[in-house]
Amino acid sequence: MEKVKAWEKKTLITELTQGMEFVNRLKSKIDPLASPEECDLLLEKILSSLDKSLSILNLKAFNVIREPYWCSKNEVSDLDYYSRDQGKNMVFKKRKLLQQWSKQVRISGIEGPNYDDGYSWRKYGQKDILGANHPRAYYRCTHKNTQGCLATKQVQQSDEDPLVFEVTYKGKHNCKASQSVDISEENQKANYNKNQYQLQKQKVGNQNVEKLNIIKEETLSFTPLKSESEKSQFFANSMDPFTSPITSESLYLPLFPTQEEELEMDQILQSSKLSHIEFSTTPTSVINSPFCGYSDLSVDDQVDNIYPNLMIDISEFFT
DNA sequence: AAGATTTGACCAGG
DNA sequence: CCTGGTCAAATCTT
C-alpha cells in the first residue's frame, strides 16, 4: 500500500512539476518567434500533465468533461492560435477543426477491427502506412448518404501488440440511428457477447478453432486531436509520459508500474472511498454523460454535478 | 438485387 | 514527389 502511495505521490509531483515547466516554456514562447504549432503542443502537454495528475487523484473529471463523443451534431471545433500575416505580424486566428479522438481496443483473436462499438460502419478504404506493419482501414458511418452523417473512424493494428487495435474517431454521429443507439452498459456487454459469438462462429468455419474472448477493451485517449501532426505524435509518443497527450488511463500505461504495483493499485481503488464512482473507461459510461465538450461551468461545478456527494481528501497522498 | 468490401486510382497537402 | 485520405469500379456476400 505504502509503496503505491509513494509511487502515486512521486508521479503526481512529477506531473505537476512537468506541467509548470510546460507553462513556463509556453510563457517564454509567446513572443514573435514562436510558431503556433509549438504553442499548441505545449498546451497539449500542459493539459496532459494536469489530466494525469487528476487521474492519480482518482478524479478523472477531465475525461468526462472533455469527452466529445456524446455531442449530437458533427460539430467542428475552433482552435484559436496565433499566426503571421504577410507583413510578418502576429495575428489571432481561428481554425475550424473536425473533432477527433482515439482509443485502443485490446482483444484476442484476429477480428479486432470488427468489434461492435454500437454504430454501423462501412469500410471505404485501406492503406498501407509508412513505417507500420499493418494497414490502416477507413470506415464511415453507414448513414452518410441517407442522413449526411459525417462520422468516420480509422482502425489500425498495433505494431507492438497485435492484439491491440488503435481506433481513431473523427466527427460525431448526427444520424438518427446513432441517436437511438442504446449503448448502455448492459447493451455493451450484449455487444461483446454477440461479438464473441460471431468470432467463434467464423473461426470454427475456418477450421481454425482457438479460444476467442474479448479480453479487455480499454479507452486510452478520448482527447480531441487537433492536427494531423499531433495525431501522428500521439501514436509515436503514446508510451512517453512526458509527450503523450491526455489519456484516460494515463495513470497506468505511460508510467510502467510493475505488475505488483498494478495489483496493489487495483486494491486501493477498490477499497477507496471513491470506489463507488464509475469512471469513464469505456464509451459506455461516457456516452451517458450529460456533458459535451467544454462547458461554461467550472471544473468544480461540473464535478459537483456529477458526484454531488463527492468528498476528496488528497491529504493521504502526502502522508 | 442490394448492400458491403476490396483495391487501384486519384487528389491534396506538406 | 511522397504520403495519407478518399473515390469508385469490380467483386463479394447476404
> From CA A151, how far away is CA A142, in angstroms rounded?
9
- List Cβ neighbours of A47 (8 Å cut-off, separation of 6 or more): A62, A223, A245, A246
Residue ranges per structural domain of chain A: 1-65, 100-170
| Spacing of A141 CA from B7 C1' in Å | 20
Which pLDDT score is estimated for A115?
A: 65
Find the helix or strand (DSSP H, E) in which A126 lies.
Answer: strand A121-127
Residue A126, CB, strand B, below 7 Å: yes
pTM equals 0.43
Residue A236, CB, strand C, below 7 Å: no
Query: Which residues of A spanning 270-299 put their CB closer than 7 angstroms to strand C?
Result: none
Q: Which nucleotide is nearest to A123 (CA to C1')?
A: B5
Which pLDDT score is estimated for A118?
A: 77
| Spacing of A63 CA from C9 C1' in Å | 43
| Spacing of A147 CA from B8 C1' in Å | 29
Grid coordinates belonging to A290: 450529460
Low-confidence ranges of chain A (pLDDT < 70): 1-15, 26-116, 177-319
Which pLDDT score is estimated for A147?
A: 81
Ordered alpha helix ranges (H), A93-227? 144-147, 176-180, 185-205
What are the phi and psi torsion angles at A125 (to 5°)?
A: 180, 160
> From CA A287, how far away is CA A245, in angstroms rounded?
21
Grid coordinates belonging to A181: 443507439
Nucleotides of B under 7 A from a protein CB: 3-9
Grid coordinates belonging to A57: 487523484
Question: How does DSSP classify residue A152?
Answer: E
Residue A125, CB, strand B, below 7 Å: yes
Q: With b meaning 16 or more CB within 10 Å and e meaning fewer, what string describes A23-37?
A: eeebeebeeeebebe
| Spacing of A315 CA from C9 C1' in Å | 65
CATH number of A100-170: 2.20.25.80
Which pLDDT score is estimated for A145?
A: 80
